[in-house]
Structure formats: C-alpha cells, structure tokens
Amino acid sequence: MANPAQPNSQAVMIAGMHRSGTSLTASILQQAGVFIGDQLLGAAASNPKGHFEDRDFLTLHIDILTALGLSSEGWLTVGQLAVPEQLWPRAQALCDRRQQAHDLWGWKEPRTTLLLNFWKQLLPEAKVVLPYRAPWEVLDSLFTRSDPAFINNPNFAVEVWLTYNRAVLEFYQQYPDDCFLFHCDVLKTHEAGFIEQLRHKLQVPLSVPDQPLFDPAVMHKQINDTHRPTLLARHFPETLEVYAALQQAADLPTPQNWEATLATDVDEAVYRAWVLEDWRAYNYCQTEKRQLKAEIQQLKVEMQQQRERCDAEVQQIQVCLDNAHETIRVMEANRAWQLRNAWLSLKNALTGSATE
C-alpha cells in the first residue's frame, strides 16, 4: 500500500530558458530546503557545478517531446505543448512519489517552460520560480557551448529565446500570485534577498544558505562590452520588447541599467565597421582552424612514422630473440653438447662429494 501524501506537501517548479540561471537557482533552492531529487544530472563543461536536474523529470520531458515528434532537446518555436494522454499517469505517479516522501519538493528542467500549463493542471497548488536573462547573454552562452542546433542557423537561437521567454511572461501574467519572476543577475549579489522575497511572496518555508553559491567564473557578461547587444536590438527588436516586458513584470528585475548596454545614435558607418570586424574575425578563425588542421595532420604523419620505426625495431629484436632461441635449441639437441653438460654435472657432483 502506498504511503499517504504529506498533508502540507508543496511543489516548487523552476523553469526558464536554457542558460538563464536555472541551474544556479536550483542549487540555491536546494540549499534553502527544497528537495530537487536524489538522482541528478551530473556536471558538464557547460555546467561545471552541475545541472541540478532530476533525471526522472528530465526523462519524462524528453519522452513527451519525442512522443510529439519534436526536438528532445527542447529547441522549439512553439509555446505550451499538449501532453499525450498516455503519459499523464506516469507524470501523476512521479508527483505522487515526491509528495509522499517530501513536504517541500520540486524540480528544475528548462523544458518545463513549454509544459507549464500541463503541470499547473496536474499540480494546481504548485509554485513556479522563473529566472530570465538578457537575450544577448543567453545567445552568447549558447554559441559558446556550440549547440549543434544553432551552428548552421544562429537566428534560430533568437526564435527559441523568444519562445521560452514569451511562455514565461504569459504564464506569469496568468498566475502572478503563484510565480516568482526575477532576473538571474540578482543571484550574483543578492542571494539572501532573493530567498527572503521568494519566501514572503510564495509563502514557501525556505532558509537562507550559509554561504553564497554564485561563482563569477561560471556566469560571465563579457558580451555586454561588445557591439553585439546593439546589433541584436537593431535587427531583432522583438527580443528587446520581450526583455523589457519581463523587466517591467518581474518581482526582482536586474538592478543594472541594461539600456546603457545598447549604443544609441549609431550611424551606418559604425554598423559597417562592426560587420567588417566580425568578417575579419571570422576569417581569422578560419585561418587558425586550417593551420591547426595542418599541424594535426603533420603530427599524425610523424606519429605514424615513429610507430613504423618502433614496429621495425620490435621486429628486429624479435628476429634476434628467435635466432637465439633456435641456437639454444640446436645446441641442446647436439649430442656433444649433451655429453658436455653431463660431464659438467658429474664433475660438479664429484667436486661436491670430495668437499664434504
């Protein structure tokens, strides 16, 4: 018989666009008292501190997307998804297990953003924590990570960012009392304040972690000091509209003046210079790539030659060993050699007897 659910069991979902601070948020809430799973996705080069993703929820979301014939990684341009009915019992059973074991539990998984309506229907009392991040910072992080989905179509990353953050904004506007919307920059300097305001608004029993968990080496902002935010604003103005709407609606917007990141009154000559700069940088990288390929090929040739020399030396040694073994075999088979050995054995025996 299954254990009954905790009478005051509270679920907390952490959703938001990939590379928007969801992992850091989950790590902080974990330390603050939220059970986010005991089988978590491990660390990777892009998330050296860990993903803090419950494998059960991650696998469920991947299976939902696969069943719908969509990208299992969640690189989509469609908003809220309709979950196939055959997967509802599995989702319900997963939630039941968590409710039976924990009074404060939840999960972090970016694909949750595309399934918020489904989870709200399944868990009507759940609270939702929604971090967001500047579009140029997210794109820079995605490109740095070299996700295959964006290699041949970098504009697709903009579409995905818009899809996720529009879903975040729409859900927040629909359920403002059950959500906490904030800019991930807040976690860099105001972890304690973030926990306090989250606890106050959502009435979730959280404790402030003893030590700050933010690592400056993990979430960088060098892209802010380049011309790319301005280019993004000029050619993809819809990203600025959504970002501004998030800032206006947020419980904790970024404390920084993000508009100052964008250059104003830039004339066409400057834009042309920026385009040529990227053109030059691209060709410089291509030249370096070709040089590295040539060096690698040369190293492969040298290693192959060294291996062939080593193989030849090994063969020569083996021939010498075989010849030595054959000489010993012939000597041992020779009758005179056998008589000599017999005489030496007898002599040693007689010498030993005389000594005694």
- What is the value of pTM for the model shown? 0.77
Choose between 208 and 341: higher pLDDT. Answer: 208
Residue 57 has pLDDT above 70, yes or no: yes
Q: What's the average model confidence in pLDDT over 213-236?
A: 78
- Per the DSSP assignment, residues forming a β-bridge with 107 are 13
Among the ranges given (87-96, 115-124, 345-354), the one the predictor scored with the smallest mean pLDDT = 345-354
User: What H or E segment, with its residue span, contains residue 180?
Assistant: strand 179-183
Residue 52 has pLDDT above 70, yes or no: yes
pLDDT at 222: 78
Residue 2 has pLDDT above 50, yes or no: no
Q: pLDDT grade, residue 192 (50/70/90)?
A: confident
Q: pLDDT grade, residue 43 (50/70/90)?
A: low
- Is 109 in contact with 17 (CB distance < 8 Å)? no
- pLDDT one-digit tens code per residue, 18-34: 999 999 999 999 999 99
pLDDT at 217: 61
Among the ranges given (80-84, 152-156, 169-173, 185-189), the one the predictor scored with the smallest mean pLDDT = 185-189
- pLDDT one-digit tens code per residue, 65-85: 999 999 999 999 998 899 999
Q: Pick from 18, 34, 3: which is nearest to 76 by CA?
A: 18
Distances (CA, A) of 337 to 82, 322, 327, 350: 92, 20, 12, 20
With a CB cutoff of 8 Å and minimum separation 6, the contacts of 219 are: 21, 24, 184, 188
Backbone angles phi, psi at 117, to 5 degrees: -65, -40
- Is 28 in contact with 194 (CB distance < 8 Å)? yes
Residue 4 has pLDDT above 60, yes or no: no
Residue 172 has pLDDT above 60, yes or no: yes
Look over the chain and give the mean of its residue pLDDT values, rounded to a whole number: 88
- Is 29 in contact with 187 (CB distance < 8 Å)? no
Domains, the chain, in order of start with CATH, read 10-266 (3.40.50.300)
Among the ranges given (1-10, 45-54, 69-78), the one the predictor scored with the smallest mean pLDDT = 1-10
